[in-house]
Amino acid sequence: MNLVRLERLVKRYGDLMALDHMELDIRAGEILGLLGPNGAGKTTLIHALTGLIAVDSGTIELFGHAMRPGKLEPKRHFGLVTQELTLFYDLTARENLAFFGGIYGLKGKALQKRVERTLQLVGLEERADQFPGKFSGGMQRRLNIAAALVHEPRLLIMDEPTVGIDPQSRSYILDTVRELNRQGTTVLYTTHYMEEVQALASRIVIMDDGHAIANGTVDELIARIQLEEKLQMEVSEPTEQLIEQLQAIGGVKQVKQEGRRLLVSIRPGADVLEPLLAAARTYGGGVRYVNADKPTLEDIFLTLTGKQLRDGDGGEAE
Ligand SMILES: Nc1ncnc2c1ncn2[C@@H]1O[C@H](COP(=O)(O)OP(=O)(O)OP(=O)(O)O)[C@@H](O)[C@H]1O
């Protein structure tokens, strides 16, 4: 079932097409990773999807309702974690959450229960009565996420929630997203960090120049763009005969020698490990070390867009 369906969305800023016939589905239960370089249109997409801006054309369907600015009903069912923190610094953590819960019409015991549950989920129950100005950057981000969660949305939309925070808070946030998803929340997760999407997302959409250029799991994307796999092998005696034998194995594209190390490029999906090891045993005096490098999302991204993902985001987490 699709919670979100975007069809042929167009958003222009003057001559610039920030969204250029963008298509996107979000399926119930998934963590969808949305990746794109600076200026690809990710934030514009999120703003359009959540009714914060009007689009020029195309359709937006959220939980079966058509979405447009000013429409309230679909807004009850999602939580939005924006890039900028949306917190009140003269309210405590608990009061912040009570405020955001109140906006959604929660009150009394029900509100109190949700606030406590959400504080616990993001690990801030000990800090509940403190003001966010006293928090580390990572803790402020966690409170910001909690503010989007207190009404228990079906869909959580996160726009680069881990930019510029410490590794510990980052890992806490990733764990929280996984836990929420396990409990049934669908997640749209936008990030510059490849490894986050690779670790979290059940499906990935890559966006560039205002539209989707690829869509699938990491394995599907690798298979689709036919990236070669690489294997490093260290042998006791790297003879010429060994290299000839390795090159003759079906599926092996190229063998390069660096001292005792052999770098073997393999056609995608070719099952060559056993014959490689057998040749190395027979003609190379035995194998000392083997390491296989699968193509990463980074490789996929570079191949598809010709761009590095992190050009100038200025907010490395480490
Ligand atoms: N209000 C606006 N007025 C004019 N141009 C805009 C406006 N908002 C966004 N843009 C432009 O639209 C394009 C898409 O921007 P958007 O912020 O959606 O990209 P993004 O993928 O979220 O990038 P980033 O990762 O840098 O946040 C960019 O070229 C941006 O400069």
Answer yes or no: is pLDDT of 21 > 60.
yes
Residue nearest to atom 28 of ligand 1 (CA): 39
The string of pLDDT tens digits covering residues 231-259 is: 999 999 999 999 999 999 999 999 999 99
Q: Whose CA is nearest to atom 6 of ligand 1?
A: 13
The protein residue with its alpha carbon nearest to ligand 1, atom 2, reads: 13
pLDDT at 310: 61
CA of 214 to the centre of ligand 1 (A): 20
pLDDT digits over 51-60, tens only?
999 999 999 9
Ligand 1 centroid–CA 62 distance in Å is 23
| pLDDT, average across residues 270-299 | 87
Residue 167 tokens read as 């590794």
Residue 40 Cβ inside 6 Å of ligand 1? The answer reads yes
Going by pLDDT thresholds of 50, 70 and 90, the confidence category of residue 99 is very high
Tell me what the mean pLDDT of segment 130-139 comes to: 93
**Model confidence, pTM:** 0.81
Three-state SS at 237: coil
Q: Which long-range contacts (CB under 8 A, 24 or more apart) does 213-222 make?
A: 213/304, 213/305, 214/300, 214/304, 218/297, 218/300, 221/297, 221/300, 222/268, 222/294, 222/295, 222/300
Q: Is the CB of 41 under 6 A from ligand 1?
A: yes
CA-CA distance, 58 to 302, in Å (whole number)?
A: 29
Q: Which residue has the higher pLDDT, 37 or 317?
A: 37
The whole-angstrom separation of Cα 114 and Cα 123 is 14
Strand 229-235 versus strand 287-293 pairing type: antiparallel
Which residue's CA is the closest to the ligand 1 atom numbered 16? 41
Q: Long-range contacts for 278-286 (Cβ within 8 Å, ≥24 apart)?
A: 279/242, 279/245, 279/246, 279/249, 280/233, 280/235, 280/242, 280/246, 282/245, 283/239, 283/241, 283/242, 283/245, 284/235, 284/236, 284/237, 284/238, 284/239, 284/242, 285/235, 285/236, 285/237, 286/235, 286/236
Backbone phi and psi for residue 204, each to the nearest 5 degrees, phi listed first:
-130, 135
Q: According to the model, what pLDDT value does residue 309 have?
A: 66
Mutate to test the pocket of ligand 1, among 17, 38, 190, 311 (most ligand atoms within 8 A of CB): 38
Contact (CB, 8 A) for 65 and 20: no
Distance 44 CA to ligand 1 centre (A): 6
Please tell me the distance between residue 52's alpha carbon and the centre of ligand 1 in angstroms. 14
Nearest alpha-carbon partner for 207 in 81, 19, 40, 3: 40
> Phi/psi of residue 270, each to 5°?
-70, 140
Indicate whether residue 39 lines ligand 1 (CB < 6 A). Answer: yes
42 lines ligand 1 (CB under 6 A): yes
For residues 162 and 154, give the distance between their C-alpha atoms in angstroms, rounded to a whole number.
Answer: 21
Distance of CA 18 from the midpoint of ligand 1 (Å): 6
The reply to whether ligand 1 has any atom less than 6 angstroms from the CB of 13 is: yes
- What pLDDT does 92 receive? 97
Closest residue by Cα to atom 26, ligand 1, is 38
Cα-flanking dihedrals φ and ψ of residue 183, to 5°?
-80, 0
How many CB atoms are closer than 10 A to CB 39?
A: 15
43 Cβ closer than 6 Å to some ligand 1 atom: yes
Instruction: Give me 120's structure tokens.
Output: 């616990």
Stated length of the chain? 318
Q: What is the 3-state secondary structure (H, E, C) of 135-157?
A: CCHHHHHHHHHHHHHCCCCCEEE
- Average of per-residue pLDDT across 159-177: 87
| Distance between CA atoms of residues 244 and 241, nearest Å | 5
